[in-house]
A and B are shown apart, each in its own frame.
Chain A
Amino acid sequence: MKGLVIVTHANLADGFLQAAEMILGSLKYAVAVCLEKADSGEDMNRKLAEAIRTVGLDGEGVVVMTDMFGGTPSNISLPFLVAGEVEVLTGVNLPMVLSFFNAQPDMSLKDLVNVLRKAAGEGIVLPSALLAG
């Protein structure tokens, strides 16, 4: 099974996993890494490395979802990028997280993140435009 790490400012990552569990039931191979103001660069790298190692035990690859490109959670994740093994996707939202758990298990990591990216984007809806159009 592929692994999921969500890394964000403050407790956003915890929140996403809690929200996903409310909808899908209990989740495996998913870890939240919440970065705090007081965390040193070393602290953050250690937390993230540990999380990737934990969820990546099956060897099928890890997706690291971060909250914002250019933010510290993304910046510290990028060095962990390994083609075919660890992918990073920014702008995490709930549709992106749910899509991870509902994805076909035999999909390649590359195909998976493209599916997730699409799902995340499609999750942003402006109802007033829908109603007007």
Chain B
Amino acid sequence: MGIVLTRIDDRLIHGQILETWVPFLNVDCIVVANDQIAENLLRRKLIQASVPKNIDVLFGSIGDINQIVGSNGVKGRRVLLLFKNSLDALKSFQSGLKFPELNLGNLHGEPGGARISCSIFLHENDIVNLTSLEKSGVKISIQCVPTDRLKNWSELLDSR
């Protein structure tokens, strides 16, 4: 099957993911793309423990993620791909991991970001990164949980 959702969520795997997106999209494999977590055994163990046994969780650094998603263990699964921030999403895309759509779920960053929605705050660098992805054909939308109305990110950016 492949990637059913590519999402930026600075909370990574949490209630909204486990209780809404996973059942809604029948996700059976979550891939967490993050350099720090890929190297941190304790964090990986803790994250793994919070996920039901029937769902696989894989971790990879941004540099390895393309290979992980293309591997035999992941191809054909219903995959939720998670990034913590816009730069990681952009770098992965630029290294060859092509995703046609990107969901913005939770993105806070340092204080002072522009409030686009109740859980999305964008800084200049986020806008640059997301614009670059959009120019490469990625459809970017904002939706915390599946029952929220899907909103195009640039509409919300323009109207703030």
A interface bracket (residues with beta carbon within 8 Å of B): 10 to 19
Stretch binding the partner chain, chosen from A35-43, A95-103, A107-115, A117-125: A35-43
A75 touches B14 (CB 8 A): yes
Digit string of A28-61 for contact with B (CB within 8 Å is 1, else 0)? Answer: 0000000001111111000000000000000000
B15 within 8 A of A: yes
* B144 contact set on A, CB distance < 8 A: 37
Chain B facing A: main interface SS: loop
Q: Which of A9, A37, A40, A74 contacts B50 (CB 8 A)?
A: A74
B46 touches A68 (CB 8 A): no
A70 touches B15 (CB 8 A): yes
Question: Closest approach, in angstroms, between the C-beta of B46 and any C-beta of chain A?
Answer: 6
A38 touches B118 (CB 8 A): yes
B138 within 8 A of A: no
* B12 contact set on A, CB distance < 8 A: 75
Q: List B residues 30-69 near A (Cβ within 8 Å).
A: 46-47, 49-51
A72 touches B119 (CB 8 A): no
B121 touches A72 (CB 8 A): no
Q: Which residues of A contact B (CB under 8 A)?
A: 9, 37-43, 68-72, 74-75, 78
